[in-house]
Each structure stands twice: as structure tokens, then as C-alpha cells.
Amino acid sequence: MAERKTASRKKREPKQTTFIQPAPQVKNSDILDVDEAASLLKVSRRTVYNRVKAGSIPHARVGRKLLFHKQTLTQWVADGADLAKPDPVKAANDNEQLTLDQLTGMLNNGQAHIGPRGR
């Protein structure tokens, strides 16, 4: 039988794997998420979400993410936003009793009206 030649092979150098590092996420301190806005306003996340739903807090929506501009929020509070008071629109929607002042405010702001149903 023919003898088999064993060829001497060169050992391959292992390929170096290059990992691509993701770009670091730049945190813009002027743009806040819900947690940061709640912390700035010293309220709960739920309060922020309730105010967004009522449309009473300045915000922007990017996809499903809620964003807040820090300066706009601080100006909003400086202009007299009272986060401690219950939202009269939410109270009316939840069939809670309103105070006379809350009802008067809703009527004056056009959030409620007196008249027959269906209008």
C-alpha cells in the first residue's frame, strides 16, 4: 500500500474579534423622563401620569415615551400650577364630589357646562 504523506500544515492564527462599542448615550439635562419630572416636582409618578392624561402638564410624546422640558416645568410651577390640589377634571370623571370652587372653576374654564344632556 502506498504510504500516505503527512503534509505539514501551517497553524492558522486565530482571528481577532473586534467588538463595536455602542455610542454612549448623551444625557441632556434639560429633557426629563417621567421619573425625573416627578422628582423635580416632588410628586409621584402616578400624579405626573394623571396630569398628562388631563392635559394639564406641559409635555411631549416621542413614540410611547413622555418627555418634559425642565425649564418649561419650572416655569409652569412658577406660574401657579398647584400639584397638591386634586385635578377637578379627574374628580368629575371619577364621580367624586366637587367643591363649589372646583365646579365654578370648571364652568369658568369651559371644562363643564350646565344644560340638557346631549349637547
- 63 lies in the same domain as 32: yes
- 55 lies in the same domain as 77: yes
Residue position matching grid coordinates 413614540: 63
Residue-level pLDDT at 102: 75
In this prediction the pTM is 0.50
- 62 lies in the same domain as 107: no
Q: Is residue 71 part of a domain?
A: yes
Q: Tell me what the mean pLDDT of segment 6-29 comes to.
A: 67
Binned at pLDDT 50, 70 and 90, residue 81 comes out as: confident
Among 6-15, 24-33, 83-92, the range with the most confident prediction by mean pLDDT is: 24-33
- 106 lies in the same domain as 62: no
C-alpha closest to that of 86 among 46, 37, 34, 32: 46
**What is the extent of the structural domain holding 48?**
28-81
Q: ∠67-68-69 over CA atoms, to 5°?
A: 130
Q: ∠90-112-81 over CA atoms, to 5°?
A: 50
Q: What is the C-alpha to C-alpha distance for residues 96 and 46, in angstroms, rounded to an integer?
A: 18
Binned at pLDDT 50, 70 and 90, residue 46 comes out as: very high
